[in-house]
Amino acid sequence: MNDFALFFCQSVDIFLQAIIWLYLVRCVLNLLGADEEMPLMFFAVAMTEVFILPMRIIFDKLGWSDNMMIDIPGMLTMFTLSTVYMVFL
């Protein structure tokens, strides 16, 4: 494996781990009742919402997000990212 491929794989590995950890931080802060104006919560939402938004749009178009108590699109997105992380890296 050449140096570029190794660097690329390591970069993707670090990036996916960071997104997964930020989502977990976001979930814990949300459970603790943190306001989205709190700097750490704002950062976690800003970094993870980019990945969750497409799943939210799909759920909204299908009408599945009405009165949802649990963040299913967020959970599915993180499950998908975790699966990609485990399978490809």
pLDDT band for position 1 (50/70/90)?
low
Residues 6+ apart with CB under 8 A from 42: 36
What separation, in Å, do the N-terminal and C-terminal C-alpha atoms of the chain show?
A: 14
Does the model's pTM come out above 0.75? yes
Q: Is the pLDDT of residue 42 over 80?
A: yes
Instruction: Assign 50 a pLDDT band (cuts: 50, 70, 90).
Output: very high
Predicted confidence at residue 65, as pLDDT, reads: 75
Closest C-alpha to 23, from 87, 71, 88, 86: 71
- Helices marked H in the chain: 3-31, 39-62, 72-88
- Give the model confidence (pLDDT) of 12-37 as tens digits: 889 989 999 999 999 898 888 888 88
Per-residue confidence (pLDDT) for residue 35, from 0 to 100? 85
pLDDT digits (tens, 9 = 90+) for 64-87: 877 777 888 888 998 998 888 888
pLDDT at position 61 over 70:
yes
- Residue boundaries of the structural domains of the chain: 3-88
